[in-house]
Amino acid sequence: MMTAEQMLIDDAARIEARLDFLTRHIDNDYPTLHESIRYSLLSGGKRIRPFLALAFCRMFDGDEAVAMDLGCALEMIHTYSLIHDDLPCMDDDDLRRGKPTNHVVFGEATATLSGDALLTEAFSVASSDAIPNALIPHAIRILSKAAGADGMIGGQMIDMRGETERLEFDTLLSMHAKKTGALIRAACLLGCLSAGITSQDDIRYQAAVTYADRIGLAFQVIDDRLDAIGDTDAIGKPVGSDAESGKTTFLTFMNVDQAYDYARDLTQLAVDAIAPFSNKEPLCALAEYLLDREK
């Protein structure tokens, strides 16, 4: 059997090819926009969100082509959020995955518009002829709820507050549930959707929510831990930046060992949630891989 890392790499290549195809039409009149969008979108990355959509699709016998495109729509939303987060008026980051950030290469105006375009095109992809009409309303609702003011953007607002004031633990949880958790949950629900699962009463839907919320939170706990003890070259940004900036993180409330134990418990809860299903192995392996990753 393939390791989780091999599976991720295998799917990431297919996801990259599809993202390339879906953004090829943006061209001619405004080559800079085309280049800027693709510079950030096709820059590697683990593609965890599309992978989750595909893995839930496979576990529940869904339509893989649908899961792929909905997963790509989500990856476009994820990428737009990174471009805007890196802007000077936001986190003012010059490096992302070891490369200069979008605005450093293309300027702030084009970076702003590229983010706007990626968010808009995500909805175009999710409403294309490749997605059955009956699924489109559900897909758009999942995407817009996860990315909007009550999801990712709301989390970003709390995160901004956390840079100047200390957050309570519950607020930190809420921030992560919205800022990154919402898109991870959306990924799993879009995988369910590709198998026609839309009811909140369906045990498969509930398992997807539980799995997503647990690995989403574990991912953030490990992120904070890596920021404190990871290898700068491996994670592609300076170690200790959170502590230096006085930002509230999980390490404000626990030490690095406690953080690992917390993430391990969450990972176990995620694995338990999908225990009843056959073909769950890739999702179990992913959860373990995310727990023990070094970047």
Residues that bind its own copies (CB under 8 A): 25-26, 29-30, 32-34, 37, 80, 84, 87-90, 107-110, 112-113, 115-117, 119-121, 123-124, 126-128, 133-134, 136-137, 140-141, 143-145, 147-150, 153-154, 156-158, 160-161, 174
User: Nearest distance from residue 117's CB to its own copies, in Å?
Assistant: 4
d(CA 26, CA 161) in angstroms, rounded, equals: 36
C-alpha to C-alpha distance for 25 and 28, rounded to whole angstroms:
9
The alpha-helical segments, DSSP class H, found in 148-280 are 152-162, 169-176, 182-193, 203-229, 232-235, 241-245, 256-273
Q: Which is nearer to its own copies, 12 or 140 (CB)?
A: 140
* Cβ nearer to its own copies, comparing 127 with 252: 127
Whole-number Å distance between alpha carbons of 175 and 193: 26
> Which residue, 154 or 236, is less far from its own copies as judged by CB?
154
Q: Work out how close the CB of 13 gets to its own copies at its nearest, in angstroms, rounded to a whole number.
A: 25
Tokens 């082509």 belong to residue:
65
Distance, CA of 213 to CA of 67 (rounded, Å): 19
Smallest distance, its own copies to C-beta of residue 105, A: 14
Q: Which is nearer to its own copies, 31 or 98 (CB)?
A: 31
Task: Identify the CA nearest to 290 among candidates 226, 196, 247.
Answer: 226
